A and B are shown apart, each in its own frame.
Chain A
Amino acid sequence: EAGVVQSPRYKIIEKKQPVAFWCNPISGHNTLYWYLQNLGQGPELLIRYENEEAVDDSQLPKDRFSAERLKGVDSTLKIQPAELGDSAVYLCASSLHGDRGGSNEQFFGPGTRLTVL
């Protein structure tokens, strides 16, 4: 079974440029998460989707960050415009819907390492 797929794996951009990250969760996983991981830190939740609905976006800086999960499968996270402080690894994770008695385990993708120059 394929894991969580993310692309690109690496991205280098100039500040003020836009950037987008893509995530394909594990098949059948209804819940999708985007995390930000700064160097030497643990992941921090940006947004959580249940199917196509964003149920927790309280930590998403909405002035420059946006996300979507059309059709409740793949998701895209966008930054526009990017700032120097956005340099980090952006992780996507997915999990089964807990109400079905499935595992609450979050499966993480390899992440996209963003460098803003």
Chain B
Amino acid sequence: QQQVKQSPQSLIVQKGGISIINCAYENTAFDYFPWYQQFPGKGPALLIAIRPDVSEKKEGRFTISFNKSAKQFSLHIMDSQPGDSATYFCAAGSGGSNYKLTFGKGTLLTVNP
């Protein structure tokens, strides 16, 4: 049972454009929603995270939009750069102080110069 569904599987964007990746979850017990960025040969690295008490969080060019009623959240990358080319994973966590994360399948983002 896939508890976190991520789309699209791959995305190609021109430099300066907006990249949008979407995720949907099923388990209403989830209370922590991070996005991870992974470059080839590296482990995932936390990009930005949100809790369900807010609908949006922005850090630099990265924004998470969260819709609790729809059980959906998305990552927006503004002014996309070639250096943003990587695989992005959404995740959902629960379990109190140390979150057990369930990851989506990932989105391979390519930003063309």
A binding-site residues for B, Cβ under 8 Å: 4, 31, 40-45, 48, 50, 56, 91, 93, 95, 97-99, 104-111
Contact = CB atoms under 8 A, between A and B. Distances in A.
Contacts of B41: 110
7 contacts: A41-B105, A42-B4, A50-B98, A97-B97, A104-B32, A106-B46, A111-B43
Closest 5 CB pairs of A and B: A98-B97, A42-B103, A108-B43, A42-B89, A31-B98
B98 A95 contact: yes
Contacts of B34: 105
B16 interface: no
B103 A91 contact: no
Interface string B39-55: 00111111001000000
Contacts of A41: 105-106
A4 B45 CA distance: 12
B45 A42 contact: no
Nearest to A4: B43
A50 B98 CA distance: 9
Nearest to A30: B98
A109 B36 CA distance: 13
A56 B100 contact: yes
A75 B79 CA distance: 41
Nearest to B42: A110
Contact of B98 (A42, A97, A107, A111): A97
B97 A93 contact: no
Given A43-B44, A105-B34, 12 more contacts: A41-B106, A42-B105, A42-B106, A43-B89, A43-B103, A48-B98, A50-B98, A98-B98, A104-B97, A107-B45, A108-B44, A111-B42
Interface string B7-33: 000000000000000000000000010
B111 interface: no
A111 B43 CA distance: 6
A42 B4 CA distance: 10
B99 to A, nearest CB: 5
A113 B3 CA distance: 26
